[in-house]
Every structure is written in C-alpha cells, then in structure tokens.
C-alpha cells in the first residue's frame, strides 16, 4: 500500500493505492490544514509514501513534521531526464515541477498517445506530450509547455492592481461562458470571461501546435480544481477529445514510486 501526496500551491491532495494500483482512499485539504488531516498508517495500512511538493520549504517542514512519527520510507519526487517510458525534454530536466512530471507520467500510462496535459489550479500548466519510437518501443516525449495564472488568480490580480475593477470575491459567474459572452456587458462578466477565454485560448494554441508536430489531434487531459469549468468551455466550443482525470498527479506518483521500488528490488536481487 502506498500513500501519495500532491502538495500544490493552495491545496494538498492525497490518495492511497493498493497493490493493484487502485485508489482506496483519497481526500484534500487546504495547505494550512495539513496538520489536522488524519493520515495514520495504522488506519489506512500503507507502508510507503511518495510526495510531490511545489508549495515551498515551509510546507515541506509541515509535511515532514506530520509524517516523521510514522517512521516509513518517504520518496520526495523530483523530475528526471526519463522515467516510466516518458522522456523529459526540459533544458534542465530537474527544474520541471514534480507535479507536472507526475501528471505527464500518469497521462502517458493512460493514453500512450499525444496529449495536451492541463492542470487547472492556482496556476494553469499546459504541457505537450508527444510520442516517439526508441529501439522499436513507444515512449512519451514531453516537449515543453506553458504556465499562466489560474482562473481565480487572474481575477484577483486585476482587483489588486486596479482602482475601479471589483475584487475577486465579487467576481462570481456560476455559469460557464459561451463564445458570444466575449462581448460581456458587465464588468464582473468581462473579468471572468476574459480569464476563461485566456486559458482556453492557450490550450487551443497548444493543441494546434502539437497537432502540427505529431500529425494527429491530441487528447486533452484536464485535472485540478477548475477542471470542470475549463472542460465545459472546451467541449462546448473546441473539441470533444477532452478527459477529466481526478488525482492525476497522485496517479503519476504511484507509477513513479512503484518503478523506483521495482528498480531497487532488482538491484538488491542482483547483489
């Protein structure tokens, strides 16, 4: 059993996987509430831990304090040049965010085909996963991506940096916009729709660029807190080749941790 932890900029998600790679428990909390989360191995039965943390050193210390009493092996995931049949083409592979790396690993395992991988959280990441053949084997190839402010962050930044535009807590538009809503006639709608169209437009640009590179229409895999909003806009007006995958990063953490455990076991057997 494996506990996976996806510590993002705002929230920490966790999921427990059994020996078959199935999620048996999962939950989420604000980063500020991690100390109150019940992650006891006595309750859930896991014996290893894999973590992706992009929330900074302070949150690292909170996680260490939370988990150290359990005295279990902890694997802090970092991006590498290659893992789980995915090649990392970042100029400095180790500088790729561990959450993006895990999401790419999970996506390749799901589709084994070109994909645009979107994580719609505090920030939005839009990554291109191509396919390539090496020694007659198919590999996923991360060829690069985009990062932009998330839906909420875009709205907040306008409220903070301007005198007359409404603050983020006033910008609540519960219904996903249509293409016609680009002609917004109230300020709150203009802010909200502008943010949504900016994200969807960036995804469309990435889809077009990857289509030209791979010579086929890629799938779009979406995860994160605003996945439903982005997915509705995409499927209504752009493409139906979209899939929402919950706990995408946690799924990638499971694959990476399992691969590492298998490699270590093989090395031990060879010695």
Helices within 92-215 (DSSP H only): 98-111, 151-161, 187-214
pLDDT confidence of residue 124: 96
**Cα separation of 239 and 202, whole Å?**
14
**Catalytically annotated residues:** 99
Read off φ and ψ for residue 133, nearest 5 degrees. Answer: -110, 130
Residue among 12, 4, 44 nearest 30 (CA): 12
pTM, to two decimals: 0.88
pLDDT confidence of residue 2: 95
Q: How many residues does the chain have?
A: 271
CATH topology of domain 2-76: Nucleotidyltransferase; domain 5 (3.30.420)
Domains 2-76 and 82-250 share a fold: yes
Per-residue pLDDT of the chain (271 residues; tens, 9 = 90+): 999 999 998 899 999 999 899 999 999 999 999 988 888 888 888 999 999 999 999 999 999 999 999 999 999 999 999 999 999 999 999 999 999 999 999 999 999 999 999 999 999 999 999 999 888 999 999 999 999 999 888 888 776 655 455 555 544 555 556 656 678 888 888 888 888 889 999 999 999 999 999 999 999 999 998 999 899 888 876 666 899 999 999 999 999 999 876 665 545 444 4
pLDDT confidence of residue 112: 96
For 33, counting Cβ atoms within 10 Å of its Cβ (0-12 exposed, 13-18 middle, 19+ buried), the class is exposed
pLDDT confidence of residue 184: 82
Sketch the domain layout of the chain as residue ranges.
2-76, 82-250
Which CATH superfamily is 82-250 part of?
A: ATPase, nucleotide binding domain (3.30.420.40)
pLDDT confidence of residue 171: 45
pLDDT confidence of residue 234: 87
Helix orientation angle between 227-237 and 187-214, rounded to the nearest 10 degrees: 70
Residue 142's DSSP bridge partners are 88, 129
């Amino acid at each position: 059993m494996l506990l996976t932890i996806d510590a993002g900029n705002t929230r920490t998600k966790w999921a427990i996987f059994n020996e078959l790679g199935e999620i048996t428990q999962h939950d989420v909390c604000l980063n500020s509430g991690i100390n109150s989360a019940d992650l006891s191995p006595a309750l859930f039965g896991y014996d290893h831990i894999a973590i992706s943390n992009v929330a900074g050193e302070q949150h690292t210390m909170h996680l260490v304090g939370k988990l150290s009493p359990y005295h279990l092996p902890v694997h802090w995931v970092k991006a590498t040049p290659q893992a789980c049949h995915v090649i990392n083409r970042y100029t400095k592979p180790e500088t790729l965010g561990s959450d993006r790396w895990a999401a790419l690993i999970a996506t390749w395992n799901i589709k084994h085909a070109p994909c645009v991988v979107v994580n719609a959280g505090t920030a939005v990441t839009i990554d291109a996963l191509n396919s390539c053949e090496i020694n007659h084997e198919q590999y996923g190839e991360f060829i690069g991506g985009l990062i932009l402010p998330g839906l909420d962050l875009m709205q907040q930044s306008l409220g903070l940096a301007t005198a007359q535009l409404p603050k983020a807590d006033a910008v609540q538009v519960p219904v996903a916009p249509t293409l016609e809503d680009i002609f917004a006639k109230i300020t709150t709608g203009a802010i909200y729709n502008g943010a949504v169209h900016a994200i969807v437009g960036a995804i469309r640009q990435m889809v077009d660029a990857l289509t030209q590179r791979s010579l086929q229409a890629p799938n779009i895999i979406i995860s994160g807190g605003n996945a439903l909003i982005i997915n509705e806009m995409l499927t209504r007006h752009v493409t139906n080749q979209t899939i929402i995958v919950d706990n995408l990063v946690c799924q990638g953490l499971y694959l990476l941790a399992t691969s590492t455990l298998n490699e270590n076991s093989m090395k031990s057997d060879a010695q």
